[in-house]
Chain A
Amino acid sequence: MTRLLAFLLFWIPAAHAQLTIEITGAGAQRIPIAIVPFAGEAALPPGIGTIVRADLERSGLFRGLELPPLVPEPTEATSINYSEWRSRLADALLVGSVQQRPDGRFEVRFRVHDVVKQQPLGGIAYTLNKDQARATAHRISDFVYEKLTGEKGVFSTRIAYVVKRGNRYELQIADYDGANAETALASFEPIISPVWSPDGKRVAYVSFENKKPVVYIHSLADGRRHVVANFKGSNSAPAWTPDGNRLAVVLSREGGSQLFMINADGSGVRRLASSTAIDTEPRFSPDGQSIYFTSDRGGTPQIYRMPASGGEPQRVTFEGSYNVSPRISPDGKTLAYITRNDAKFQVALLDLSTRQVQILTDSDRDESPSFSPNGRMILLATVIGERGVLSAVSADGRVKQRLSTAAGDVREPAWGPFIE
């Protein structure tokens, strides 16, 4: 399963600690794509074509072809000799150009071709500032990916995670590939359980800055944040409703750890369920109708599902004595969670219709799985060499990636939604 097909080390100069991505396994059938360096792309280092190629290869679904120097370099305006590209074993071809405008900004144009069907699939022109080269390349990757696979790409999405360095905790927001990491919150007390609002503009999380767990909502663009739940006792495990108006949270204000609903402005708290167990880690199904959560009501922590309006929970996981951290896939058909096998904590995927369970990882201290918004990848935290790192695995278990920073422990990843 973990065939070592590609190895990529990608360094990104940024002000903060960078994540680097290493692909440690890839899909069996990858689309061979020729990505011609965009004419004039030297003006936008490290080059649009370079970033697009890294994006597509990272998905595990594409293989970038090595190309000889091409004279003249084809661009989006060139008429394509498809049989020539077929002879280079390309199924797909991406060509484009970069031009600097008189006002100092840039124009990037591209076109993607289906070499097998011998037809162009479309293209776009973008205007951008120099510092938007990466964002532009990710847009292009999304376009190419969707044209060639039929599903949406996640190259323009962002991730949240927590970095611990000494006694300092930082909630960071980065591009999906770890580039452009920015610190949204820095604290001398722990930060856990970040979750993105459905519109991708806010992150809810638990901060211990008041010596106890308190749930906040943090608006990323302006840094404003407000307390959602700071009742007597512990306040933790926020989960957004799909409409982004409310959250499920876990409160101990009435004793124990119990599920409550609360409006995003902190008003209207009401109890959702009542048990003598620990009920925690709620997550809404994509249709908002069900809540999956962890409970030890049966003696060991297992995953249960209940109607979002309240009602009788049904047990969902049965194999093993420790199944926690449920995360429902964007299509609602599978459930990722952490299972303990012997002393190993690993990511498992449960097909909710067939009840089949597959262990996706071969690491042993996995935590906090998080689906990419297209459901293809699962981001997770694990520990390698006594250091917390982020890792990603495809939902079919074939593609594995590791993201790591130069310094500090990285944990609590959360993959953000598609941004419209």
Chain B
Amino acid sequence: MRAMFYVLSAASLLVLASCATEEQKPAATAPVEGKPGAPQEVQTQPVKPVTPGKPGASPFAALKDPSNILSKRSVYFEFDKFDVKPEFRPLVEAHAKFLRENPSAKMLIQGNADERGSREYNVGLGQRRSDAVKKMLTLLGAREDQIEAVSLGEEKPSCAEHTEDCWAKNRRDDMLYSGEY
């Protein structure tokens, strides 16, 4: 909710006047003689820039012990697949247990897709992945209202190269707790 906007350049407002262009439409049959008609104002539309505030660091100390499985947050998926692979089941179970034992804890699951194809369809694919982990967590006893499953589509890759290795890293859910996002 750091949706603080600030004006980048108010000067741009001054560049252009307000809306509505008037284009005189001379009739095709009535060519303009001698002098064209009365001069018209040329008007253009301004664009006022705004920018959301830069997110600041908001450290969240819990769940960060590297020796604890709870410090692991990512679940990876096969190409065009949305089921949680067996190797990630212990990780999801551990987080389900944490959510059960800490009823006030809230989790955001961000689903991701690799970069190939439509950005919006990839939002859909990422959503399928985050929905899958959310469903597993709730089946394991976490409350539905503790978890929000969203998608970042292909917009936040953890790996930027255009290779299968990289794409595999980007077909991923990240589980974040309150204060971590």
B61 at the interface (CB under 8 A from A): no
B:41-83 near A, CB below 8 Å: 41-42, 44-52, 54-55
Interface size on B, residues (CB 8 A): 68
Q: Knowing A221-B47, A278-B128 touch, does A187 contact B52 (C-beta < 8 A)? A: yes
A:268-296 near B, CB below 8 Å: 278, 280-281, 294, 296
Residues 248-260 of chain A, each 1 if its beta carbon lies under 8 Å from chain B, else 0: 0010100111000
Chain B residue with Cβ nearest A236: B123
Q: Report which residue of B19, B121, B176 has the largest number of chain A beta carbons within 10 angstroms of its beta carbon.
A: B121
Residues 155-175 of chain B, each 1 if its beta carbon lies under 8 Å from chain A, else 0: 110000010000000000000
Taking a contact as CB atoms under 8 Å apart, the answer to whether A233 and B49 are in contact is: no
B26 at the interface (CB under 8 A from A): yes
Residues of B within 8 A of A131 (CB): 15-16
**Which of B31-39, B85-93, B96-104 touches A?**
B31-39
Residues of A within 8 A of B40 (CB): 124-127
- Set B42, B108, B119, B150: member contacting A127, Cβ < 8 A: B42
Taking a contact as CB atoms under 8 Å apart, the answer to whether B32 and A122 are in contact is: yes
Residues of B within 8 A of A125 (CB): 35-40
Taking a contact as CB atoms under 8 Å apart, the answer to whether A252 and B131 are in contact is: yes
- Set A15, A129, A256: member contacting B127, Cβ < 8 A: A256
- Set A143, A225, A256: member contacting B131, Cβ < 8 A: A256
Q: Which secondary structure dominates where chain B touches chain A?
A: loop
CB distance from B69 to the nearest CB of A (A): 24
Chain A residue with Cβ nearest B54: A188
A201 at the interface (CB under 8 A from B): yes
Taking a contact as CB atoms under 8 Å apart, the answer to whether B119 and A234 are in contact is: no
Taking a contact as CB atoms under 8 Å apart, the answer to whether A119 and B31 are in contact is: yes
Taking a contact as CB atoms under 8 Å apart, the answer to whether B121 and A280 are in contact is: yes
CB distance from B173 to the nearest CB of A (A): 13
Residues 199-231 of chain A, each 1 if its beta carbon lies under 8 Å from chain B, else 0: 011000011111111000000111101000000
Residues of B with Cβ closer than 8 Å to A?
A: 1-3, 5, 7-9, 12, 15-16, 18-21, 23-24, 26-28, 30-32, 34-42, 44-52, 54-55, 108, 110, 116-121, 123-128, 131, 148-153, 155-156, 162, 176, 181
17 contacts between A and B (CB under 8 A): A111-B32, A122-B26, A124-B40, A125-B38, A184-B48, A188-B52, A192-B120, A201-B45, A209-B52, A212-B152, A220-B48, A223-B5, A223-B48, A223-B50, A233-B148, A250-B123, A345-B117
Residues of A with Cβ closer than 8 Å to B?
A: 15, 76-77, 107, 109-111, 119-129, 131-132, 135-136, 139, 142-143, 147, 156, 158, 173, 182-190, 192-193, 200-201, 206-213, 220-223, 225, 232-234, 236-237, 250, 252, 255-257, 278, 280-281, 294, 296, 301, 322, 324-325, 338, 340, 345, 367-368, 386, 412, 419-420
